[in-house]
Structure formats: structure tokens, C-alpha cells
């Protein structure tokens, strides 16, 4: 039975996987049952802009403005994920993308000026409780992995007029870009306008408020490059 599970896991991941012998078979059985039901929910889901092979949709996932959501092959959405695709370019998820439970993807903050949207490349994974505020646009490259509670805020409030409430001064937005092959630690916050190069490592709880060059290791609040890979 364990060999069968290893074979199926290898097919799913596209590389050889050997299941640890310390994992109880009962755990694998119920995990496999949940996975099968999630695949079935994905197959039955209608109204998406496009959908590749093997869409795994957990219970309590909420998808809004489905016609603006495009999914590649082997996309997995964890429990209580919310994706609101309302935006100019929608939400585009590449192949082999895993979105952690309780993650929110929100593309628009105002109905008077809808947002730009979100594009994520292939082989991406993020942990639980992440937030993608992509009104100004977020673009993430291939082979990016992220921990839990990572937050993107691709929009800022205007506040220059001291005689007018900040909430009435509107917003400005530039967008956020993350390169290929990056590792982003838990709790990292990205502010609007930043660009992170290829091959970067961002330490846990870092506030990224400026551009990070290729192959940098960056930490701190505010962010500081401490080493080159």
C-alpha cells in the first residue's frame, strides 16, 4: 500500500517521492480520501476563466468573479481560501501552485476603480494565512516558496492634504514584482512599488519597503541586504 501511495505521489509531483515509513497507513488513507473528494469538487466547479488538469479544491473555498480566475495544471487550494478575481487582468495561477489554508487573494478595493490583478508562475507554494492585496498588481515568478502569514499590499493611501481626511484623499498604486527562485520567510510584508530580484531569500518578519537585487539575502524592519548568495 505504501508503494502505491509513493507511486501516486510521484506522479502528482512529477518527481520521485518515497513516503516515510513512520507515517501511519490510517493517516495516509484519510488524507487520500480528502484529496480525492477535493479533486472531485474541482472537477465539478464551473464558471472559471480557464482550468487545467487536476484542480484540487478543499472544502469552504470561496471563488468570486470566477470568469476572471485562470488556473494551470495541478492547482491546490487549502481550506477557507478566498479568491476574488474582480480586476482588469484577473487572477492567473500557473502549474503546480499550492495556496495554503485561510489565504485571501483580493484584487480590488473600490468599485469606482477596479484593481490590476495577480499573476503567479509555476511551482509556487505559500503557507497558511497569507494575504495578496493586488489592487496595484502583483507578479510572482516561477519556483517561489513562501511561509505562513506573508502579506502583499500593492496600494497606498494618499495623505498629503492635512485639511482633508485621509480616507477621502484616494489611493496610489505601482505594483509589486517578485522574481524567480525566491524563498520568502513567514510574516514578511511587501509594500507597494517594490521589486525583488531572482534567487532572493527574505528572512521571517521582514518589512520589504525597497527593491532587492538578484541573489540577495535580506532581513529586518525595514529591510536590509546582509549577504549575497
CA geometry: angle 204, 210, 213, nearest 5 deg: 85
- For residues 166 and 43, what is the distance between their CA atoms, to the nearest angstrom? 45
- How much is the pLDDT for 14? 67
- Using left for φ > 0, alpha for ψ between -120 and 50, and beta otherwise, residue 190 falls in beta
CA nearest neighbour of 122 among 184, 73, 66: 73
Grid cell digits, residue 58: 478543499
Q: How high does pLDDT run on average in the chain?
A: 90
Q: Are the C-beta atoms of residues 94 and 122 closer than 8 Å to each other? A: yes
- Under DSSP, the state recorded for 28 is H
Grid cell digits, residue 229: 548568495
When pLDDT is cut at 50, 70 and 90, the band that residue 3 belongs to is low
Residues paired with residue 120 on neighbouring β-strands, in sequence order: 93, 140
Q: Are the C-beta atoms of residues 137 and 172 closer than 8 Å to each other? A: no
CA nearest neighbour of 86 among 126, 134, 152: 134
Instruction: Delimit the domains of the chain by residue range.
Output: 1-44, 48-228
Average pLDDT on 195-224 reads 98
When pLDDT is cut at 50, 70 and 90, the band that residue 5 belongs to is low
Residues paired with residue 216 on neighbouring β-strands, in sequence order: 228
Least confident of 112-116, 118-122, 163-167, 206-210: 112-116
What are the pLDDT digits (tens) for 145-173? 999 999 999 999 999 999 999 999 989 99
The correct CATH number of 48-228 out of 2.170.120.40, 2.160.10.10, 3.10.50.40, 1.10.10.10 is 2.160.10.10
- How much is the pLDDT for 49? 86
When pLDDT is cut at 50, 70 and 90, the band that residue 2 belongs to is low
What are the pLDDT digits (tens) for 190-205? 999 999 999 999 999 9
When pLDDT is cut at 50, 70 and 90, the band that residue 13 belongs to is low
Bridge-based pairing state of the strands 224-228 and 201-202: unpaired
- How much is the pLDDT for 19? 73
Least confident of 48-52, 77-81, 150-154, 205-209: 48-52
Helix 25-44 / helix 2-13 crossing angle, nearest 10 deg: 40
- How much is the pLDDT for 8? 61
- How much is the pLDDT for 55? 87
- How much is the pLDDT for 133? 96
- How much is the pLDDT for 120? 98
Q: 3-class DSSP state for residue 105?
A: strand
Amino acid at each position: 500500500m505504501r508503494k502505491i501511495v509513493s507511486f501516486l505521489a510521484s506522479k502528482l509531483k512529477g518527481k520521485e517521492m518515497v513516503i516515510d515509513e513512520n507515517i501511519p497507513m490510517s493517516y495516509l488513507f484519510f488524507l487520500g480520501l480528502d484529496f480525492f473528494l477535493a479533486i472531485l469538487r474541482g472537477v465539478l466547479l464551473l464558471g472559471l476563466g480557464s482550468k487545467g488538469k487536476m484542480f484540487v479544491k478543499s472544502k469552504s473555498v470561496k471563488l468570486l468573479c470566477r470568469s476572471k480566475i485562470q488556473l494551470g495544471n495541478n492547482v491546490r487550494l487549502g481550506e477557507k481560501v478566498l479568491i476574488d478575481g474582480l480586476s482588469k487582468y484577473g487572477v492567473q495561477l500557473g502549474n503546480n501552485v499550492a495556496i495554503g489554508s485561510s489565504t485571501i487573494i483580493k484584487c480590488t478595493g473600490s468599485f469606482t476603480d477596479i484593481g490590476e490583478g495577480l499573476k503567479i508562475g509555476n511551482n509556487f507554494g505559500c503557507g497558511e494565512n497569507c494575504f495578496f492585496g493586488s489592487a496595484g498588481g502583483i507578479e510572482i515568478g516561477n519556483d517561489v516558496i513562501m511561509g505562513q502569514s506573508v502579506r502583499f499590499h500593492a496600494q497606498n493611501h494618499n495623505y498629503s492634504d492635512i485639511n482633508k481626511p485621509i480616507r477621502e484623499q484616494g489611493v496610489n498604486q505601482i505594483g509589486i514584482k517578485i522574481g524567480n527562485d525566491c524563498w520568502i520567510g513567514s510574516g514578511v510584508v511587501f509594500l507597494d512599488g517594490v521589486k525583488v530580484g531572482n534567487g532572493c531569500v527574505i528572512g521571517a518578519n521582514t518589512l520589504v519597503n525597497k527593491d532587492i537585487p538578484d541573489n540577495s539575502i535580506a532581513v529586518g524592519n525595514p529591510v536590509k541586504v546582509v549577504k549575497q548568495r
